[in-house]
Amino acid sequence: MRRYVARRVAALVATLFFVSALVFVVIRVLPGDPAALIMGTEGSREATERLRESMGLNRPLPVQYLEWLGGALRGDLGRSIQYDLPVGELILTRLPVTLPLALLAATFMVAVAVPLGLYAATHHRRAGDYLAMVVSQLGISIPQFWSGLLLILLFSVTLGWVRSGGFDGWSAGLWPALRSLLLPAVALGLFQAAVLVRATRSAVLDVLREDYVRTARAKGVSERLVVGKHTFRNALIPIVTVAGLQLGQLMAGAIVLESVFALPGLGRLALGAISARDLPVVQGVTLFVASGIVVINFVVDLAYGFLDPRIRYE
Amino acid sequence: MRPRSLRHVTFTLGAALTLALVATAALSLVYTPADPLAMSIPGRLQAPSGDHPFGTDQFGRDILSRIMTGAVTSIAVGLIAVGIGAGGGILLGLVGGWTGGWVDETLMRLVDAVQGFPAILAALLFTAVFAPGMVVSMVAIGIAFVPAFARLTRGRVLELREREFVVAARALGGRDGRLVVRHILPNALPPLIVQATTSFPVAILAEAALAYLGLGTQPPHPSWGLMLREAQNFLSFNPWFAVFPGGAIALTVLGLNLLGDGLRDLLDPRTA
């Protein structure tokens, strides 16, 4: 087991190195001169040169990369040009919106998808199964931001139950904050739930076909025990894997939903930074989110090894 | 007796919806009920009527005509993005799987890293340095597809390289390039075709999301995502404005998903 973990950690370090290199190449190398890009056509030559100097762009690229990487490892992601604040600090102020949104959506996803997938599998090729599959097929086909707009149309414009967007912060109280995140979390979780329903159904169906399930039934074990104890627990491994991998997708989806519901999260920070040509913020946010997704994938990979010992020996 | 594919409900329904999408896109190249770019301020934000079956937008443009033209954008971005993802992924998978050793290990870590960049994130990164537009959309979405194609190809190569016909071809003096192109790639293709089919609707969803965020197709060019972005400000005046473009995306993606599922069932009945 120790060797398996060590191998996975080495792979994680290599992957994170590539993530940082990709972000650096796109932001610092592809534009040619990032200082000119930031200053735009309105910047004077002197001002551009000063910016180039302050950003350390006159040094060789490998040196720039190592300095930037060293800073990132210490939590220093540079300074925002637009806000004149450390990028790390800006990310930390926006994280309390994006992270709870993704977590709420994940909770909704699991709460809806797992029971529905389990029901569909245990009612295989019956009306309930077909209905669950039709619902999940529709869920996969509806874009998250359109679900968001339809939810606003129904609950805000037509019924007037909730605001159409905005977020007053956690200091305004737990319930007002949660209420602001509820609709976007549902819109975000709906699509992922549709994916997870299919994965859950397929995993449970696979286990239901196993010999030990047939044996349990032949021994007269009640259907509830067969499904709850023998089937569901064994089907959990692929379900946990798919759900874990979807967490990364939820982080990315949150960026879109923040725009629909005007939530001041990481996505809106990055979009605002693009308009303001604030390259350090875009660089910091993309590095942070991409690294987060890679780490989530690593944890899922590791959990898979713990849950299914066969994986460790492959 | 109808062919097996036509008796498959999922496949038939998916194929019909997809055909409708392609026909709509093709028709829009020669005919639309109105000019999709022609503005008419007095006729703005109209509900569906005989003159404008899907209503009009905030500039009085005919929504039906814009949806028809938007289908071309969706298909073009989807096809090219899947092409980029498949091209890049297949190349990485073939090289990694065939070469093995540290080359394979390095390429797979690169693929893991690329997996950290879903289309939205890749588009954010590219739009920071390049002007937003369809090209950025295609590249960002394509890059996000690379890991799936690379892993699938590599898995097939690892499996096929030990098969007797490949070992025999190698024993007869076949060179690496020829073995990969003539023997490995054709045999690895069926799951890759299914992957391409299932990636296409994902690409259309991603294109719409990027256009919605302002990172993809730019105004005044019609794109379904962009239309939803514009519709958001007028939800209380003309809700139809948001309903039709969203419905077009959902129906298209539904058709392509059904087609992909049906194709997978037909090519590999074990998964049905």
Span A49-95, pLDDT tens digits:
888 887 777 888 899 899 999 999 998 998 898 899 999 999 999 99
Q: What is the pTM of this model?
A: 0.88
> Token pair for residue A120?
């569909």
Angle, vertex CA B157, rays to CA B263 and CA B153, nearest 5: 45
What value does the mean pLDDT take over residues B43-56?
Answer: 91
Q: Which of A262, A254, A261, A265 has its CA nearest to residue A293?
A: A254
Question: Which residues have CB under 8 Å from A18's CB, separation 6+?
Answer: B109, B110, B112, B113, B114
What value does the mean pLDDT take over residues B207-218?
Answer: 91
* d(CA A165, nearest CA chain B) in Å: 12
Chain A residue closest in CA terms to B206: A143
Tens of pLDDT along B115-135?
999 988 998 889 888 888 899
Put simply, the answer to whether A294 touches B208 (Cβ < 8 Å) is: no
The pLDDT assigned to A297 comes to 87
The pLDDT assigned to B22 comes to 94
Instruction: Indicate the residue of A141, A270, A277 with minimum beta-carbon distance to B124.
Output: A270
- Kindly report the backbone phi and psi dihedral angles of residue B56, in degrees, each rounded to the nearest multiple of 5, phi listed first: -130, 160
Quick check: B197 pLDDT over 70? yes
**B244 Rama class: left (phi>0) / alpha (psi -120 to 50) / beta:** alpha
CA distance A131 to A252: 29
A36 touches chain B (CB under 8 A): no
Burial of A53-86, coded b for 16+ CB within 10 Å and e otherwise, reads eebebeeeeeebbeebbeebeeeebbbbbebeeb
Put simply, the answer to whether B214 touches A271 (Cβ < 8 Å) is: yes
* d(CA B174, nearest CA chain A) in Å: 31
Put simply, the answer to whether A256 touches B209 (Cβ < 8 Å) is: yes
What value does the mean pLDDT take over residues B154-164?
Answer: 90
The pLDDT assigned to B151 comes to 92
B218 touches chain A (CB under 8 A): no
> Token pair for residue A266?
């990481």
Question: What is the residue type of B176?
Answer: D
Chain A residue closest in CA terms to B111: A15
Residues of B in contact with A31 (CB under 8 A): 129
What is the C-alpha radius of gyration for chain A, rounded to an integer number of angstroms?
A: 24
The pLDDT assigned to B5 comes to 66
Mutate to test the interface with A, among B146, B151, B213, B233 (most CBs of A within 10 A): B213
Sequential pLDDT tens for chain A (314 residues)? 788 889 889 999 999 999 999 999 998 887 777 787 777 777 788 888 888 887 777 888 899 899 999 999 998 998 898 899 999 999 999 999 999 999 999 999 999 999 999 999 999 889 999 999 999 999 999 999 999 999 998 998 889 888 888 888 888 889 988 989 999 999 999 999 999 999 999 899 989 988 999 999 999 988 888 888 888 888 888 888 788 878 888 988 898 999 999 999 999 999 999 888 888 999 999 999 999 999 988 888 888 777 777 666 55
Among residues of chain A, what percentage have pLDDT more than 70?
Answer: 98
CA distance A192 to A47: 47
Residue that the structure tokens 């220093």 belong to: A76
B129 touches chain A (CB under 8 A): yes
The pLDDT assigned to A236 comes to 84
Chain A residue closest in CA terms to B246: A146
Q: Which of B227, B213, B65 has its CA nearest to residue B141?
A: B213
Collapsed DSSP state (helix, strand, coil) of residue A110: helix
Question: Which residues have CB under 8 Å from B42's CB, separation 6+?
Answer: B60
The pLDDT assigned to B265 comes to 79
B110 touches chain A (CB under 8 A): yes
Chain B residue closest in CA terms to A259: B213
Put simply, the answer to whether A145 touches B209 (Cβ < 8 Å) is: yes
Quick check: B272 pLDDT over 60? no
Put simply, the answer to whether A252 touches B120 (Cβ < 8 Å) is: yes
User: How many CB atoms neighbour CB A232 within 10 A?
Assistant: 19
* d(CA A253, nearest CA chain B) in Å: 8
Confidence of residue B270 (pLDDT cuts 50, 70, 90): low
DSSP structural state of residue A123: T
CA distance A57 to A38: 12
Residues in chain B: 272
Instruction: Indicate the residue of A153, A255, A283 with minimum beta-carbon distance to B120.
Output: A255
Put simply, the answer to whether B116 touches A293 (Cβ < 8 Å) is: yes
CA distance B209 to B224: 9
> Token pair for residue B89?
């992924």
Put simply, the answer to whether A19 touches B232 (Cβ < 8 Å) is: no
The pLDDT assigned to B1 comes to 47
Provide the number of CB pairs (under 8 Å) joining chain A to chain B. Answer: 146
